Structure formats: structure tokens, C-alpha cells
């Protein structure tokens, strides 16, 4: 069942957000104002995205575009399909485009932005900022509709000062909460992979994500989605517990923590 949070911030224009899927098999987030709908990444299959949007009552052809965070397959799997079948504009920076073209030899046209710049998609203002991750030029996104602000950072090795600055004014955030550090150490994975995940260009642990949320928390921040949870090196209840305990210790018990899933959509929230 999808639960909807309506009118959390009275007097502001509506901005809806739902994570259609998040994890190592594919990532895709839906963000919409009253008149403009976009996807952040398209790492799920075309059928999975279509089905998830249908559950929300959204037709694929009504989307205004796809914003790409980086070139890893679990974020771009359906880009070519979405452009060729539905004519969706694809937005990415030049290095991400280069990485996609090297892997896929695709000839689809991209709307290229410079990392750190802002641009409009319908009535949505899109702000981009660099994040540390093991790809060519990965970015996070701030999506604004008038005074409502959403932040999306799904793959990040560590929180930079710039990341904190960009997220500190958000009303809702989608943030990576990839692994429990002990579970990662004990996992049956190659040591080199463990090192990559735990590195400053890998993925955030539960503890790191909790600390970051507490650092950027403010009275306006209402909802945080925990994204990209590892199936082998994390547990949903552990991730939620770690974040909630840290927030309570810092006096931010008003913030709602929501889970995202690899095989089903998250709750949809409307701010």
C-alpha cells in the first residue's frame, strides 16, 4: 500500500517524490510538481519503470525527462529505451555522457549540463553538485518547485562540505544508506570489493548516513528516504534504527525515516 503525506508544509506548491527502486540491481526516483514529472536515473528495466509509474497513476509519456547521476549500469539501464520509445529528454554532464557512450556506443542525444550549474525542466529548478563516488563525474541533484526542496544523493563515498551545504535546506532527501560496517567486514566478498565500498569514493554506511542527516537536519527537513541498501551487508531495520537513534540524540525526532526497496516502490510523499 502506498501512503501519501499531504500538506506537510502548508502554503507551499506541491512536490511529490517516490523511489521506484533502489539497490545494486537498479535505481530510479520519481519527482513531480503539479505540472512537471521527471525521473532521477533509469537503472530499472523499462517494464519495471512502466509498472511502477502505473501504480502511481502516471503514464510514461507524461514525463519531462530523465536526470542521470552517473554512468554506472544500475543507474542508466533503460535510458536508450526511454528516449527511443517515449522520446524522453536525457540530462547528464559531459563526463557521464562520455562514460555512457564508451560503454554503450549509444547515439541518443543528451541535454548536457556543467556540474554545479542549474537549469529548468518545466516548473522544476534543477541544481547539480559533485559527489565523491567511483565514476567519472557523479552528481547529486536538488529539485525545487518554488519554495519546496528535495535532495537526491544515491551513491556517495563520504559527505563533503559542499554536499552538506546543498542538502541543509531540503524538506525531503533521498540518501544512500548502503551497509552496516560490521556486516560488510564479515561478508563473503573479495577484500578488494570491501575496500572499494568502504572507501571515500564508495558508498555510505548506516553510521555515516546517520551522521550526515544529523549534521544537515533542520526544522524544515521532514522526510528522509534511505536508499541503495545492500541486501548482503545491511538490514532495513538496522539502517532505520541507526539513523533514528542518531537523530533522537541530536534532538531531531520530528524527521520521518522511510525505506526504499529493490523490488517495489517506496511510499510516495507530497510536500
Q: What does the DSSP assignment read for 190-257?
A: -HHHHHHHHSTTS--BHHHHHHHHHHH--TT--EEEEE---SSS--HHHHHHHHHHHHHHTT-TT-EE
Q: Cβ of 6: how many Cβ atoms within 10 Å?
A: 10
Instruction: Encode pLDDT of 182-207 as tens digits.
Output: 999 999 999 999 999 999 999 999 99
Task: Tell me which H or E stretch contains 9.
Answer: none
pLDDT at 10 over 70: no
Summarize the confidence of residues 73-95 as an average pLDDT: 97
Q: Which structural domain, as residue segments, surrounds residue 241?
A: 4-270
**Higher-pLDDT residue of 9, 144:** 144
Supply the pTM of this predicted model. 0.94
pLDDT at residue number 1: 30
Structural domain tally of the chain? 1
pLDDT at 7 over 60: no
Round to whole Å and give the CA distance between 193 and 229. Answer: 16
Summarize the confidence of residues 4-9 as an average pLDDT: 39
Average pLDDT, the chain: 94
State the pLDDT confidence band at 13, using cuts at 50, 70 and 90.
Answer: low
pLDDT at residue number 39: 98
pLDDT at residue number 206: 98
3-state DSSP call for residue 77?
coil
Q: Are 224 and 257 in contact (CB under 8 A)?
A: yes
CATH of the domain at 193: 3.60.15.10
Q: What is the DSSP letter of 61?
A: G
pLDDT at residue number 14: 86
Summarize the confidence of residues 229-248 as an average pLDDT: 98
Summarize the confidence of residues 101-124 as an average pLDDT: 94
Instruction: Encode pLDDT of 33-70 as tens digits.
Output: 999 999 999 999 999 999 999 999 999 999 999 999 99
State the pLDDT confidence band at 104, using cuts at 50, 70 and 90.
Answer: confident
CA distances from 113 to 13, 121, 154, 257 (A): 26, 12, 19, 32
Amino acid at each position: 500500500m502506498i501512503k501519501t503525506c499531504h500538506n506537510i508544509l502548508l502554503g507551499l506548491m506541491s512536490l511529490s517524490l517516490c523511489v521506484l527502486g533502489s539497490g545494486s540491481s537498479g535505481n530510479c526516483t520519481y519527482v513531480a510538481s503539479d505540472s512537471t514529472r521527471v525521473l532521477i536515473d533509469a537503472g530499472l528495466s523499462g517494464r519495471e519503470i512502466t509498472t511502477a509509474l502505473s501504480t502511481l497513476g502516471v503514464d510514461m509519456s507524461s514525463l519531462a525527462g530523465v536526470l542521470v547521476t552517473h554512468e554506472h549500469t544500475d543507474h542508466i539501464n533503460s535510458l536508450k529505451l526511454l528516449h527511443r520509445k517515449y522520446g524522453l529528454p536525457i540530462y547528464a554532464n559531459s563526463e557521464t555522457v562520455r562514460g555512457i557512450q564508451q560503454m554503450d556506443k549509444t547515439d541518443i542525444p543528451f541535454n548536457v549540463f556543467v556540474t554545479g550549474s542549474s537549469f529548468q525542466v518545466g516548473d522544476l529548478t534543477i541544481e547539480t553538485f559533485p559527489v565523491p563516488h567511483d565514476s567519472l563525474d557523479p552528481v547529486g541533484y536538488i529539485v525545487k518547485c518554488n519554495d519546496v526542496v528535495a535532495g537526491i544523493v544515491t551513491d556517495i563515498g563520504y559527505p563533503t562540505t559542499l554536499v552538506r551545504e546543498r542538502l541543509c535546506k531540503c524538506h525531503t532527501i533521498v540518501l544512500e544508506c548502503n551497509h552496516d560496517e560490521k556486516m560488510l567486514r564479515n561478508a563473503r566478498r573479495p577484500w578488494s570489493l570491501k575496500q572499494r565500498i568502504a572507501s571515500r569514493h564508495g558508498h555510505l554506511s548506516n553510521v555515516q548516513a546517520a551522521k550526515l542527516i544529523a549534521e544537515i537536519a533542520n526544522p524544515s527537513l521532514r522526510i528522509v528516504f534511505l536508499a541503495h541498501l545492500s541486501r548482503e551487508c545491511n538490514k532495513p531495520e538496522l539502517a532505520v534504527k541507526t539513523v533514528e537513534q542518531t537523530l533522537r540524540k541530536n534532538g531531531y525526532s520530528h524527521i520521518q525515516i522511510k525505506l526504499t526497496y529493490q523490488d517495489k516502490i517506496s511510499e510516495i510523499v507530497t510536500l
